[in-house]
Amino acid sequence: MVDIGTKQATRRVAVASATVRFPSDVAATLQADGLRSAKGPVLDTAIIAGTLAVKRTHELIPFCHPLPIENCRFEMAFASATELVIRCEVAITHKTGVEMEALTGASVAALTVYDMCKALSHEIVIADVRLLDKSGGKRKVTAGRAER
């Protein structure tokens, strides 16, 4: 682990996203069924799974510090007829950032959407998992660009 003992505790926020691409017939079926699959409510289940993943990132990614997460929020919306964009925002006041937690939350939420919908098609694609924004540490990142 990286020694964070001398770092200053500051408000830190990270936002990550993942895109789930559905075949057009699957997207139409899901939207017609109120985003429910045979397993239940797709988005609600993905939010729960993503939140649990955020809280357990340190158990999944070696060398991540266990963190007392203060806020975790998801937004999910279709950006096109076939692309669901999942956005995960995580916030904390601490000595280390929450980029890995936001990325893990978005990823696991996307995996959960896949799991909830795979009976409809195995041609669903998870793509574009990325950090959109990070603030509160030494560097600010906006849409993948680092600034000091």
Name the active-site residue from 3, 25, 33, 115: 115
Distance from C-alpha of 143 to C-alpha of 38, rounded to nearest angstrom: 35
CB–CB of 41/35 below 8 Å?
Answer: yes
Distance from C-alpha of 143 to C-alpha of 78, rounded to nearest angstrom: 19
Task: State the residue for tokens 């999910």.
Answer: 76
Distance from C-alpha of 105 to C-alpha of 49, rounded to nearest angstrom: 8
SS3 sequence of 105-137: HHHHHHHHHHHHHCCCCCCCEEEEEEEEEEECC
Distance from C-alpha of 125 to C-alpha of 23, rounded to nearest angstrom: 9
**Residue 115 designated active-site:** yes
Give the CA-trace dihedral at 61, 66, 70, 76, to 10 degrees: 10
Catalytically active residues are: 115
